[in-house]
Copies of this chain bind each other. A is one copy, B any other.
Amino acid sequence: MKSYTLGEIATHLELELVGDASCVVNGLGTLSNAQPNQIGFLSNPSYIDQLAACQAAAVILSANFADNCPVAALISDSPYVSFAKASALFYEHALSSAGIHPSAIIDDSASVSDSAIIGANVYVGAGAIVGDRTVIEPGCSIGANAKLGQDCHLHSNVTLYHEVQLADRVIIHSGAVIGADGFGFAIDGATSIKIYQLGSVRIDDDVEIGAGTTIDRGAIEDTIIERGVKIDNQVQIAHNCHIGENSIICGCTALAGSVTLGKNCIMGGASGAVGHITIADGVQVSAMSLVSKSILESGRYSSGTGQMRTSEWKRSIVRFQQLDSIARRLKEIERQSDKE
């Protein structure tokens, strides 16, 4: 368990401390549950009522709430960002071991940095390159000629196919598969002829990819994930997608082939997009919504229906099937009404 004085915390996070700099803390807590050896935070003003009873050693909050803080205050212009930075200070993740674990299989033609950490039962294929300080945890499989930059972190049981390229500081969680064949077939009568996928996947700096996510290699050209993109668990990104920088893709989203997603977009959980469309910068798609045609303007988009009691919903879906008739009948009534 890592511990710091409040003075050290203030220095690390570049915050003003109002309180005892020598007080020692060893973790973070929610405003309502933080213990006297933890730091709390107040970023959403709707929790302000919890501040008075807070028992934390200190609270990260904005200057306008500092006077109401019953304990030490760490004053921040962006309390949530400061909280995020504080979380990094307390994170502990024991690595499998330093260096290359004896059980790892590294192809003779692979190149692994001396400062990289390769866990048990990892496989690194021919011609692969692993950069400085990159960590590959147990059970990962790195395909031939894959290239990993510096300070990447692959959690256990990640698979990178051949030729996949990761830039620096890419984090990939367990079970993710990068570079599997795109789903491409040419229909020849009743049978499907496989289109071998000759492109690869290129992932730029500071991308994080969640557990069980799959990103397919391109058919001819590469699938591309730009810098700063954050992808949650069990997302499917098909071949030749191009994801713009700093976009956020929430869990279980499915993007079909050749989708171009702009910068700073947010795809809500379990949302989707059909293939060969373009989504503009700054678009936000609601949870479980399907983008069925290109979106040319930023803004929020949705599909689906709201939740209902099933008994009532059953009546609505019957009427949904009659909607065209309903609209036509209404128009007819309006027409008659106008004539009268």
- Residue positions of A touching B, CB distance < 8 A: 27-30, 33, 78, 80-81, 83-85, 87-88, 90-94, 96, 101, 103, 105, 107, 119-121, 123, 125-127, 137-139, 141, 143-145, 155-157, 159, 161-162, 171, 173-177, 180-181, 183-188, 190-198, 206, 208, 210-212, 214, 216, 219-221, 228, 230, 232-234, 236, 238, 245-246, 248, 250-252, 254, 256, 264, 269-270, 272, 274-275, 284, 286-293, 295, 299-324, 326-327, 329-330, 333-334, 336-337
Q: From the candidates B138, B187, B317, name the one contacting A123 in the complex (CB within 8 A).
A: B138
Copies of this subunit: 3
Residue numbers in B under 8 Å from A337 (CB-CB): 333, 336
- Between A and B, 30 residue pairs with Cβ closer than 8 Å are A78-B186, A84-B193, A87-B196, A88-B194, A88-B196, A93-B144, A94-B127, A94-B144, A94-B162, A159-B175, A175-B214, A190-B246, A191-B206, A192-B228, A233-B238, A251-B254, A272-B288, A274-B287, A291-B307, A300-B309, A300-B310, A302-B307, A303-B305, A303-B307, A305-B320, A306-B317, A316-B323, A320-B323, A323-B323, A329-B330
Residue of B91, B175, B186, B304 touching A177 (CB-CB under 8 A): B175
Given known pairs A28-B198, A190-B246, A307-B302, the reply for A212 and B175 (CB within 8 Å) is yes
**How far does the Cβ of A203 sit from chain B's closest Cβ, in whole Å?**
15
